[in-house]
Amino acid sequence: MDREKLLEFIDKNRVRFLRLQFTDINGTMKNVEIPSDEVEGLLDSGIMFDGSSVQGFARIHESDMYLKPDLRTVAMLPWTFDGHRSARIICDVYEDPSTPFDGDPRYRLKLIQEKARSMGFIPYAGPEVEFFILPRKEGKPVFEFLDSGSYFDLLPVDIAEHIRTEVSVYLEEMGLDVETTHHEVAPSQHEVDFRYAEPVIAADNVQTVKLVIKTLAIRNNLFATFMPKPFFGVNGSGMHVHMSLFTLDGRNAFYDPDAPDGISQTMRYFIGGLIAHAREITAITNPTVNSYKRLVPGYEAPVNIAWSKGNRTALIRVPKARGNATRLEYRAPDPSCNPYLALAVMFAAGLDGIEKRIEPPLPVEENIYKMSDAEKQKRGISRLPANLKEALTEAEKSELVKSVLGEHIFEKFMALKEREWWEYSTHISEW
């Protein structure tokens, strides 16, 4: 969409307000609202805001920052159709009208996407977002199950089923191609899958999905949580990411029709890079104390650093589809992550594998959960960090993580997460 088409869009849809959205270091979506008649100024020079008031952005003496709109992301907000009609635009953060802000998570992912192109690849990502819908009582969320359903269950039609349908309708009205929505394994747990896209747009889509789900839950007096492990004894919520690389002329670089398994050497190197860097990127893909309550054996969450051609007990799974559908599924991330930073470190790890020709170990098709420690050691299967502190220690040593996040985000992120670990370590709970 260009300037002229945006003005036509605003007029045709009777847009009263524009919500300018961006994401902070923690992955929280922020927004500032402007009347639609201010759009000319937005397009000419961006909108200034106070960066010192946003977590991890600027210090108070360097607080003036700018939002510049990405017009590919213009979409109506469907829940405003019966009131003051509003549209959203996802923005990039700038230090001044011409200089991108080095600490903008979206910008960091753009750099990795550009690196992939410089290597001759167009990267694609397809995240799968899991979440729980829970009841509210007297306006406050209650951590109780809303249903007793399990994977793919068709429940007696209830409010959660209606919300999933509404989520699909709203997302499609906002331009997202929803592929499936369904009940997940745990009671009250659901999943939304949408069509793969280049990483920046895929991360935008994750943020949009979260916004729509949370909004619809509130409108129905319910509560949506993307907490990785809100309940003991049932599966937690992950954000498995399907990843692929295409050549600039449109061929799937992960597919080799002459290989017995259809997997190209490029894909093997990419997997090798992910395995080599898995422990050090986990603080970014799984950034909360609660993330590590999910990463335990027995609940389908990956713990073991291995890859397979179908085995869901491994960190990396290669689905059976071949041809242009050839891809891998990285199963560690959870929906508490900042999707821009998570996709950035994941693709950077894979691209590093290609650059350095890192051979992966042999695939593991057995149930790794049932292997003894001695057997795993013999097969060279290590495990992901067991807690946030261990993950931060790995990230601190990682040159790849430092370079992908940049000095600004790396220092702010580590400080925020060390603080979170300290608060967790000193807190005395009922348990």
Q: Does 168 share its domain with 85?
A: no
pLDDT in tens, the chain (431 residues): 888 999 999 999 999 999 999 999 999 999 999 999 999 989 988 888 877 667 656 554 456 889 999 999 999 999 998 878 999 999 999 998 889 999 999 999 999 999 999 999 999 999 999 999 999 998 888 888 887 777 766 666 566 778 888 899 999 999 998 888 888 888 889 999 989 999 999 999 999 999 999 999 999 999 999 999 999 989 999 999 999 999 999 999 999 999 999 999 999 999 999 999 999 999 999 999 999 999 988 777 889 999 998 777 889 999 999 999 999 999 999 999 999 999 999 999 999 999 999 999 999 888 888 888 888 888 888 999 999 999 999 999 999 999 999 999 999 999 999 999 999 999 998 87
State yes or no: 227 annotated in a binding site.
no
> CA 352, CA 277: separation in Å to the nearest integer?
9
Is residue 279 part of the annotated active site? The answer reads: no
Kindly list the distances between the CA atom of residue 351 and the CA atoms of 8, 102, 261, 280, 355, in Å, as whole numbers in the listed order.
41, 21, 21, 15, 6
Q: Does 115 share its domain with 95?
A: no
Closest to 183 (Cα-Cα) out of 220, 162, 155, 141? 155
For the chain, how far is it from start to end, CA to CA, in angstroms? 53
> CA 395, CA 387: separation in Å to the nearest integer?
13
Q: Does 254 share its domain with 296?
A: yes
* DSSP label of 37: G
> CA 300, CA 316: separation in Å to the nearest integer?
13
State yes or no: 130 annotated in a binding site.
yes
State yes or no: 252 annotated in a binding site.
no
Is residue 240 part of the annotated active site? The answer reads: yes
| Number of alpha helices (DSSP H) and beta strands (DSSP E) in the chain | 11, 17
Is residue 331 part of the annotated active site? The answer reads: yes
Q: Are the C-beta atoms of residues 338 and 23 closer than 8 Å to each other?
A: yes
* DSSP label of 155: P
Q: Does 70 share its domain with 139?
A: no
Is residue 184 part of the annotated active site? The answer reads: yes
Asked, for residue 431, whether it belongs to a domain, the answer is no
Q: Does 52 share its domain with 149?
A: no
Is residue 399 part of the annotated active site? The answer reads: no
Is residue 102 part of the annotated active site? The answer reads: no
> Exactly one of 24, 92, 104, 128 is catalytic; which is it?
128
Q: Does 267 share its domain with 140?
A: yes
Neighbouring CB atoms inside 10 A of 138's CB total 5
pTM of the model: 0.94
> CA 362, CA 33: separation in Å to the nearest integer?
52
State yes or no: 119 annotated in a binding site.
no
> Exactly one of 24, 193, 329, 334 is catalytic; which is it?
329
Q: What residues make up the domain containing 213?
A: 111-426
Is residue 407 part of the annotated active site? The answer reads: no
Last residue of a domain, one of 99, 133, 162: 99
Q: Does 204 share its domain with 74?
A: no
DSSP character string of 180-239: EEEE-SSTTEEEEEE--B-HHHHHHHHHHHHHHHHHHHHHTTEEEE--S--STTS-----
Count structural domains, the chain. Answer: 2
